[in-house]
């Protein structure tokens, strides 16, 4: 077997030790005689798995005691509705539009409340969003139930390197971040973030698990139309077991958290992520125009790196020749085209080095 370096934007590459352990325990978890997929979610064995997973996650991200961690389903797209159903109170909410995902969030929220655009980068050169609107320019609504932003735009490759401080902007609204594609890649500043949510299928585990971190004082105001299984208060009161949780995904997430702790934790992985991203952007910027990344330096994503060859006819042969040497899933998202390398926590530095080598050799042979 030859493992590929997998640059998929999600579901995404997982650490080899995690996969090996999941395989080894498949038929018999810790001598129980049954596998994790076969365990009652209310049994002692899964209880251990669940508690360890949540404790590890809280420790890794330094989640304050007054935040609930909810293990939900449906991904960030479902959460785009579940969030305003729980927190909008049917009033005004502010959205910061920075790319594909934040726009979807705002569009869905508008079905449940008065969703306003506080800021937008839509005037950036289409189809590429290049910049993030400067927080000082945001038009925040007085009395908004919350302010929503996507802290890492997976398709456009933009990342808030620092989450804005709403209080410094004169707002006391809770800040909600969709952090799907960089969750657990760096610390979260909980003094600025009231709610964070994300699908697991980037840095955390299999698709089908959604993590929601919510400050307790925001609970208890769901709209009447909110399904019980998606009511944050109901989910919290039942320890994420009102409905049967995605047990296997939670187990794998727990193994990933163990692995992350072994890597030195989130601060350590952030340093490696910055190093990996710097290497890749340097290869793009130093290619003499063969490759380009359209995003402003100050907001380039450290997770998702879209790039384009100077001639778009080169994209298909690039992807093909990369796959031939075990570098897979490098095609750009269909909405923007080009190429994209997602370099999540589990992508080793060696994978990025191999990609850079391929980029250089490809440029040399197609220059």
| Binding of a second copy by 44 (CB under 8 A) | no
CB of 239 to a second copy, least distance (A): 15
Per-residue string for binding with a second copy, 52-81, x by CB under 8 A? ---------------------xxxxxx-xx
Q: Which of 94, 124, 178, 258 is catalytic?
A: 178
Of residues 87, 124, 93, 121, the one with CA closest to residue 107: 93
Q: Which helix (H) or strand (E) holds 93?
A: strand 92-97
DSSP string of 190-253, one letter each residue: TTT-SEEEEESTTTTS-TT-EEEEEEGGG-S---TTS-GGG-HHHHHHTTT-SS---HHHHHHH
Q: Is 101 annotated as a binding residue?
A: yes
Residue number, 4 or 356, with CB nearest to a second copy = 4
| Binding of a second copy by 335 (CB under 8 A) | no
Question: Does residue 178 have an active-site annotation?
Answer: yes
Q: Which of 68, 103, 202, 276 is catalytic?
A: 202
146-150 and 327-328 beta bridge pairing? unpaired
Half-sphere exposure of 236 (CA within 13 A, CB side): 18
Question: Does residue 334 have an active-site annotation?
Answer: no
**Ranges within 127-186 binding a second copy (CB under 8 A):** none
In degrees, rounded to 5, the angle at the alpha carbon of residue 259 between the alpha carbons of residues 258 and 265 is: 85
Distance in angstroms (rounded) separating the CA atoms of residues 102 and 107: 9
Q: Which of 29, 68, 94, 101 is catalytic?
A: 101
Taking CB under 8 A as the criterion, the residue among 50, 67, 112, 308 binding a second copy is 112
| 3-state secondary structure at position 2 | coil
How many chain residues touch a second copy (CB under 8 A)? 70
Taking CB under 8 A as the criterion, the residue among 326, 348, 360, 366 binding a second copy is 326
Distance in angstroms (rounded) separating the CA atoms of residues 280 and 351: 11
CB of 211 to a second copy, least distance (A): 14
The residues annotated with a catalytic role in the active site are: 101, 178, 202
Q: Which residues are annotated as a binding site for pyridoxal 5'-phosphate?
A: 101, 154, 178, 201, 243-244
Q: Which residues are annotated as a binding site for L-glutamate?
A: 42
């Amino acid at each position: 077997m030859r493992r590929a370096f997998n640059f998929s934007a999600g579901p995404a590459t997982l650490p080899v030790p995690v996969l090996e352990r999941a395989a080894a325990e498949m038929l018999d978890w810790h001598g129980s005689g049954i596998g994790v997929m076969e365990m009652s979610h209310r049994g002692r064995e899964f209880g251990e798995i669940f508690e360890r997973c949540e404790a590890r996650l809280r420790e890794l991200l330094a989640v304050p005691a007054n935040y609930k961690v909810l293990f939900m389903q449906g991904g960030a797209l479902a959460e785009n509705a579940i969030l305003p159903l729980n927190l909008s109170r049917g009033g005004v909410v502010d959205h910061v539009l920075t790319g594909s995902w934040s726009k979807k969030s705002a569009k869905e929220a508008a079905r449940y409340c008065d969703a306003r655009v506080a800021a937008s980068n839509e005037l950036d050169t289409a189809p590429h969003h290049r910049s993030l609107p400067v927080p000082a320019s945001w038009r925040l609504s007085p009395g908004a139930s919350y302010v929503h932003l996507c802290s890492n735009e997976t398709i456009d490759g933009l990342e808030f390197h620092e989450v804005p401080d709403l209080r410094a902007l004169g707002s006391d609204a809770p800040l909600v971040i969709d952090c799907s594609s960089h969750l657990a890649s760096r610390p979260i500043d909980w003094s600025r973030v009231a709610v964070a949510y994300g699908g697991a299928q980037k840095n955390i585990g299999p698709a089908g698990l959604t993590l929601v971190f919510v400050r307790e004082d925001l609970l208890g105001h769901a709209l009447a139309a909110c399904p019980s299984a998606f009511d944050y208060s109901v989910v919290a009161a039942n320890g994420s077991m009102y409905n049967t949780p995605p047990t296997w995904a939670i187990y794998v997430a727990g193994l990933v958290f163990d692995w992350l702790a072994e890597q030195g934790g989130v601060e350590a992985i952030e340093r490696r992520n910055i190093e990996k991203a710097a290497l890749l952007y340097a290869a793009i910027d130093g290619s003499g125009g063969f490759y380009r990344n359209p995003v402003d330096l100050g907001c380039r994503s450290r997770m998702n790196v879209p790039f384009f060859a100077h001639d778009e006819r080169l994209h298909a042969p690039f992807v093909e020749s990369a796959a031939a040497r075990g570098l897979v899933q490098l095609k750009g998202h269909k909405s923007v085209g080009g190429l994209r390398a997602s370099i999540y926590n589990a992508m080793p530095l060696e994978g990025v080095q191999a990609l850079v080598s391929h980029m250089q050799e490809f440029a040399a042979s197609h220059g």
